[in-house]
């Protein structure tokens, strides 16, 4: 296999890059949809530039993790300032990392005074589970059905129960509420999101180390919990001796209008997890915040190398990026901005829903984490002679709308479900950009009404995609 230098990779045009992507190990694992394989060569704020000189508006924000947009200047400058320092070092002092941990402790809910840095959001979840199992001596972990995509069953299966489990606890009885496809013996169960009765039943055996829950389920379709659900879930966990872990990898750091989404719900978790938005989109970074008492309880037993797996494995550059990200979020008042402009975005989308009620089923979200749920029109689309079964492709109407926004308006959005489109722009987005996207959505939805015009447009869109055509 030929080796490729960085200089050559940077100099590639679209066709060569497309062929490389298709033939590389990455391409064999994840194919890029035809017509959407743009080659972006520059990014700044909420905009991207491709190799053809076209400018795109990013309203996907990497699934909501680009809080400051692409290549934020303060974060890039912070990384530059520490460029000559050792990035990874097992000995010596690292005031940059210590400062980030102190700032996280100062900003988090009051009791969460013990932060732990990780190299990714997924590692943050794994570390949180390790802490919970260690502190409680219980092997089982409870999650919600439809949790974020990288909160996978395989990840949980790879995390063994603690060696010092006091007794061989019997598995929680599998019911319709707790059934999961997890391999036997992983200690994993799942309950429906928002179902307190199912949660109470799953916790009844007092064998669950932790319940992991998202304040808003993004990948499941931007689902908000019923009012009071999180507070009652917190109480149930406390009564059963189960730790309450809040997964804020997608909702944290201002995206929903408060610094942490759990603050708006009036709850204080035992463990809080943060994800890649902490690195400002420049450096990979995650974090776990817990209480001092829980940390001491989890680390009281020091046999083996378990403690080393929870030590910070991030570098000085990532810590500097985290410091700059927090500073920008606070100095620019971005959480409050997300609350104000997010309400404006929701109001405009609700007006759009009223106008296109035969296509748009629901609009929901908080701050700059918003989902549009479309009606499932694939049933009638199969009767259209031009559209046929492939009118919207395998992804449903959300994928079709996203493709139209990209092709015709040069706007990036993210289908998280076949019928749900996620809008999660950088928190620095302005009112004018919001208007542009909503107006473009209106134009796209005007062509998404059941009828012949949609069949023709769908067929033309499919042909343009197959040809890899540029936006009109």
pLDDT tens, per residue, the chain with 472 residues = 688 988 988 888 888 888 887 776 655 445 455 446 789 999 999 999 999 999 999 999 988 889 999 999 999 999 999 999 999 887 888 999 999 999 999 999 889 999 999 999 989 998 999 899 989 999 899 999 988 744 444 444 444 444 443 333 333 322 222 333 334 445 889 999 999 999 999 999 889 999 999 999 999 999 999 999 999 999 999 999 999 999 999 999 999 999 999 999 899 999 999 999 999 999 999 999 999 999 888 877 655 455 555 566 789 999 999 999 999 999 999 999 999 999 999 999 999 999 999 899 999 999 999 999 998 865 545 444 444 444 454 458 899 999 999 999 999 999 999 999 999 999 999 999 999 999 999 999 987 665 434 444 544 444 444 444 443 3
CATH class of 16-71+334-466: alpha beta
277: Cβ–Cβ under 8 A, 6 or more apart, which residues? 64, 65, 66, 67, 249, 252, 253, 255, 325
Q: Tell me how far apart the alpha carbons of residues 244 and 254 are, in angstroms, rounded to a whole number.
A: 21
Query: Which residues, in sequence order, are CB contacts of 199 under 8 Å at separation 6+?
Result: 142, 191, 211, 233, 236
Partners of 143 in the beta sheet? 190
Among candidate residues 131, 143, 213, the one with its CA nearest the CA of residue 181: 143
Here the tokens at position 82 are: 């520490």
Parse the chain into domains and list their residue ranges. Answer: 16-71+334-466, 82-331
In the sheet where 40-44 sits, what is the strand order?
A: 40-44, 47-50, 55-58, 411-412
**Residues forming beta bridges with residue 383, ordered by sequence position:** none
* DSSP type of residue 54: -
Q: Write the CA distances from 247 to 80, 150, 181, 295, integer angstroms.
A: 31, 12, 21, 18
Contact in structure between 212 and 151 (CB atoms under 8 Å): yes
C-alpha distances in Å from residue 381, one per residue of 185, 376, 389, 463: 44, 10, 7, 17
User: Looking at the domain that runs over 82-331, which CATH code has it been given?
Assistant: 3.40.640.10
């Amino acid at each position: 296999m030929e080796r490729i230098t960085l200089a050559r990779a940077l100099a590639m045009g679209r066709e060569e890059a497309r062929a490389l992507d298709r033939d590389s190990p990455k391409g064999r694992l994840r194919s890029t949809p035809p017509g959407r394989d743009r080659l972006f060569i520059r990014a700044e704020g909420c905009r991207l530039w491709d190799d053809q000189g076209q400018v795109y508006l990013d309203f996907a924000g990497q699934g909501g993790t680009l809080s400051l947009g692409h290549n934020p200047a303060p974060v890039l400058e912070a990384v530059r300032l520490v460029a000559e320092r050792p990035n990874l070092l097992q000995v010596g002092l690292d005031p940059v990392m210590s400062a980030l941990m102190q700032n996280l402790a100062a900003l988090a809910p009051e009791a969460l005074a013990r932060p732990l840095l990780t190299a990714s959001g997924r590692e943050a979840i794994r570390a949180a589970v390790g802490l919970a199992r260690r502190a409680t001596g219980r092997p089982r972990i409870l999650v919600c059905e439809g949790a974020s995509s990288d909160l996978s069953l395989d990840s949980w299966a790879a995390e063994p129960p603690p060696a010092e489990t006091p007794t061989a606890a019997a598995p929680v009885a599998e019911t319709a509420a707790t059934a999961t496809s997890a391999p036997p013996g992983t200690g994993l169960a799942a309950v429906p999101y928002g179902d307190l009765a199912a949660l109470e039943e799953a916790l009844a055996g007092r064998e669950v180390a932790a319940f992991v829950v998202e304040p808003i389920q993004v990948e499941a379709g931007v689902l908000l919990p019923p009012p009071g659900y999180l507070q009652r879930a917190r109480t149930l966990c406390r009564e059963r001796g189960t730790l309450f872990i809040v997964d804020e990898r997608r909702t944290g750091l201002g995206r929903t209008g408060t610094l942490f989404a759990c603050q708006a719900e009036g709850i204080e978790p035992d463990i809080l997890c943060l994800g890649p938005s902490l690195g400002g989109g420049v450096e990979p970074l995650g974090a776990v915040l817990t209480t001092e008492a829980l940390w001491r309880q989890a680390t009281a037993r020091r046999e083996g190398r378990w403690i080393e797996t929870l030590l910070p494995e991030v570098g000085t550059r990532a810590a500097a990026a985290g410091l700059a990200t927090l500073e920008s979020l606070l100095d620019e008042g971005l959480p409050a901005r997300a609350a104000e402009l997010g309400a404006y975005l929701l109001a405009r989308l609700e007006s759009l829903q009223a106008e296109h009620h035969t296509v748009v089923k629901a609009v929901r979200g908080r701050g700059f984490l918003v989902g549009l749920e479309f009606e499932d029109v694939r049933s009638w689309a199969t009767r259209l002679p031009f559209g046929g079964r492939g009118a919207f492709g395998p992804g449903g109407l959300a994928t079709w709308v996203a493709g139209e926004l990209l092709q015709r308006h040069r706007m990036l959005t993210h289908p998280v479900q076949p019928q749900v489109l996620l809008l999660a722009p950088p928190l620095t987005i302005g009112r004018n950009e919001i208007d542009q996207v909503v107006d473009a959505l209106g134009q796209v939805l005007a062509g998404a009404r059941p009828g012949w015009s949609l069949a023709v447009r769908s067929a033309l869109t499919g042909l343009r995609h197959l040809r890899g055509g540029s936006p009109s």
